[in-house]
Structure 1
Amino acid sequence: MDSSPEGYPQLATLQGTYPQLGIYRRFATLNARNLLYLQAELVDLETSLHDYTREDCESEDPEKRLHSKNWYYLSRSKNGVLDSQWYTMISVREKLKEYNECLFQQRQLSTFDQPEPGNLDFMNAWLTDPRHGNCALEGVDRNVWEAGKDLLVVKPDTLVADSFTRVLRRPLTALYHKLRVSRHRAADEESNIYVYDEKSVVRAADMIGTAISSLMPILSVVVLYCIRDMLTRLGMIAVFTVLFSVALMATTKAKRIEIFAATAAFASVQVVFVGSTSV
């Protein structure tokens, strides 16, 4: 990688080698502004087309009155070519094509993932590190990644994860790096870049999430056993039920109906326990 000239060539080599670093500006505001202008142009053309159509229909010229009924006379009208129904329709056709293409592009852009924070931090560190990017860019685009806003990543995030896993991904990767760095060979020794399989992170996060979900019922039983006041017990049942449902939402990808069913079962077990210990 270091054999590439500094600047755009070396940065392109980095992003081409590691697609997860293919982070670029989305230009959401500019795209939206472009769509607004195209929309305004189409509205203006639509108004003109309506006016020219009405004029043709109300004209004393019999051929013009046929423009709304006979395409042959409409397409071959010679009077007022620039200010005519057919010429305006041709302009509408061209502008509609451009507008629709921009709409589809905007919709496709909205499906791109945001860059993973760890990868974005790495990009910023690489760009300023004298051993790597060495202030790779010096133009007005040099702060694109430092700002960290309006960005997308070309490679989709293949990590099938819940919000809990996404939160843990960065600290778990950092911990894994610290534990393995002494005996794990860098993927790019010249640039000192380490690449890890995200499956290990997912597996670790799943284990932590499962442990938390499994401890919740045990913890509730212990707390309810230690409390003797019935009103306090009922209050703690409500608290643990809410915590259990939140834990399921955070650590699993279960549907709402599945979470509701599991929470209802958990609450029923607590009520049965309280009833059995209060006798």
Structure 2
Amino acid sequence: MNRTLQLGNRTTKPINGFPRVAQKLASDPDRTTTIFRRFDQLSSRNLLFLEAELAELEALQKRADEDDLRSTDRTTIECHSDWRKFEQYATEKDLNEDAVHPKQAERLNLALKIKERLSEYHEALAVHQVLLNAKAPAPTTVNAMRNWFLGGESGKIQPRPQLWGSSATMFDDPNDLVALRVPADQDRLSGFILNHFGRFFATDSNSDENSAHISERRLATVVAITSSILSAILLFGSITSLYFVHNPYAILGMLGGWTVLFAISVGWLTNAKRDSVFAATAAYSAVLVVFVSGNLGGVSPPSSVVLGN
């Protein structure tokens, strides 16, 4: 989405504030506007607190183990080998509801506290890892949502954000945002088409007077067709040009030029990884070399230039 194009359906205007923002986030049928803050700094601080607390509990556990290591008490020895005995001794109370074995009760409380904090720490780590590895929302979607959230499309002289207080900075830091769902294709070609030709993908559904819904399916179809056309041009364009060129040195230069152009196209217009770019480029250059080697263009290279078998 660009600044004035975003996803959503036309519905009854809700109450300003949280109801309206909630409707906006949920109005997109493709759910690409479900953007929220990750609170990276707070999450990291929370993990540090849990880690520090666990470090203190770990130190307490080590001191308790060192103390029990020097003990010759049969109860202590049994508690380190039999959980049922450990639990029995630790929870046993006298008539005054006091622990019969206070040391074992203390050990059990420590073990249960470690268990609780460790579970909380691991869960927080796993959730934070998932959020950090999640795909970032599309920049066009973030720009459109920020513009709407800050009232940039309201036409007022002094627009106000949809939420006040500290929530007014919700979309200020794009690096702290996470989208619960992102479009399947977020490559540079999709972004280019969306930024420059987004109006052609607008549908009749509209959540605001100044915004339009962008059909993700239509956009994906156009991107797929455009990619296919570009691939055909790179393949048949190179073969055609090589067919009409008879200078062997020019052919070598054209082979290098078309190969570089293909590699740049794959690397910049798609989300292909480096190994995929290398593999596709090698396959493309192999096709061109086979074409030239077959002498289909009627080229007879001199003895100093070997183009094939």
Q: TM-score range by the shorter chain?
A: 0.7 to 0.9
Choose which of 127, 144, 148 in structure 1 pairs with 2:174: 148
Partner of 1:8: 18
What is the 5 A alignment of 1:229-244?
230=249, 232-244=250-262
Counterpart residue identity of residue 147, structure 1: D
Counterpart of 1:79, as a letter, is: P
Q: What residue in structure 2 maps to residue 217 of structure 1? A: 235
1:81 to 1:35, Cα distance in 2 relative to 1, 3 A? same
CA gap of 1:246–1:264, structure 2 versus 1, over 3 A, is farther
CA RMSD of aligned residues (A): 3.3
Deviation at 1:151, TM superposition (A): 0.5
Alpha-carbon deviations, 1:85-143, whole Å to 9, x = none? 33321111111121122123223324543222222222122121336984212312212
Q: Does the C-alpha gap of structure 1 residues 242 and 152 become closer, same or farther in structure 2, counting only changes over 3 Å?
A: same
Measured at CA, do residues 274 and 51 of structure 1 come closer, stay the same or move farther in structure 2, by a change above 3 Å? farther
Structure 2 counterpart of 1:202, from 211, 217, 220: 220
Distance in 1 between residues matched to 2:52 and 2:77, nearest whole Å: 29
Q: Tell me if the contact between 1:241 and 1:267 (Cα under 8 Å) persists in the aligned partners.
A: no
- Distance in 2 between residues matched to 1:89 and 1:253, nearest whole Å: 49
Q: How far did residue 265 of structure 1 move?
A: 2.2
Matching of residues 132-143 of structure 1 within 5 Å? 134-143=160-169
Q: Which has the higher contact order (CA 8 A, sep 6+)?
A: 2
The equivalent residue for 2:154 is: 130
Identify if the C-alpha distance between structure 1 residues 153 and 119 changes in structure 2 by more than 3 Å, giving closer, same or farther: same
Q: 1:278 to 1:164 in 2, by over 3 A?
A: farther
Distance 1:258 1:108 in 2: 30
Which of the numbers 79, 103, 112 marks the counterpart of 2:102?
79
Name structure 2 gaps, 5 residues minimum. 1-10, 91-100, 302-309
1:41-72 deviation line (CA, Å, top 9, x unaligned): 22332232122123112114332233322334
Question: Aligned in 2, Cα 1:271/1:138: closer, same or farther, shift over 3 Å?
Answer: farther
Q: Structure 1 residues 162, 153: closer, same or farther in 2, change over 3 A?
A: closer
Are the counterparts in 2 of residues 169 and 202 from structure 1 also a CA contact under 8 Å? no
Write the distance in 1 (CA, Å) between the matches of 2:229 and 2:84.
76
Answering whether residue 178 of structure 2 is matched by residue 166 of structure 1, we say no
Matched letter for residue 168 of structure 1:
F
Secondary structure at the counterpart of residue 15 of structure 2: coil
Question: Normalising by structure 2, what TM-score?
Answer: 0.72
Contact 2:38–2:178 (Cα < 8 Å) also in 1: yes
**Contact in 2 for aligned 1:11/1:136 (Cα 8 Å):** yes
Indicate the SS of the match to 2:178: strand
Q: Is the 8 A contact 1:165 1:202 kept in 2?
A: no
Q: 1:37 to 1:239 in 2, by over 3 A?
A: farther
Identity percentage of aligned residues: 20
Give the total of aligned pairs. Answer: 269
Cα distance in structure 1, aligned partners of 2:204 and 2:85 = 76
Q: What secondary structure sits across from 1:24 in the alignment?
A: strand
**Maintained 8 Å contact 1:58/1:65:** no
Instruction: Confirm or deny that 1:69 pairs with 2:102.
Output: no
Equivalent residue letter for 1:200: R
CA contact (8 A) 1:172 1:201 kept: no
> Equivalents in 2 of 1:113, 1:243: separation in Å?
28
Q: Deviations over 1:157-203 (max 9, x none)?
A: 2x4337244333422552415xx7xxx64534x63432132222122
C-alpha change, 1:270 and 1:88, in structure 2 (3 Å) is: farther
Greater helix fraction, Structure 1 or Structure 2: 1
User: Could you tell me how far apart the structure 2 residues matched to 1:68 and 1:90 are?
Assistant: 15
Q: TM-score, normalised by structure 1?
A: 0.79
Structure-1 separation of matches of 2:166 and 2:295: 66
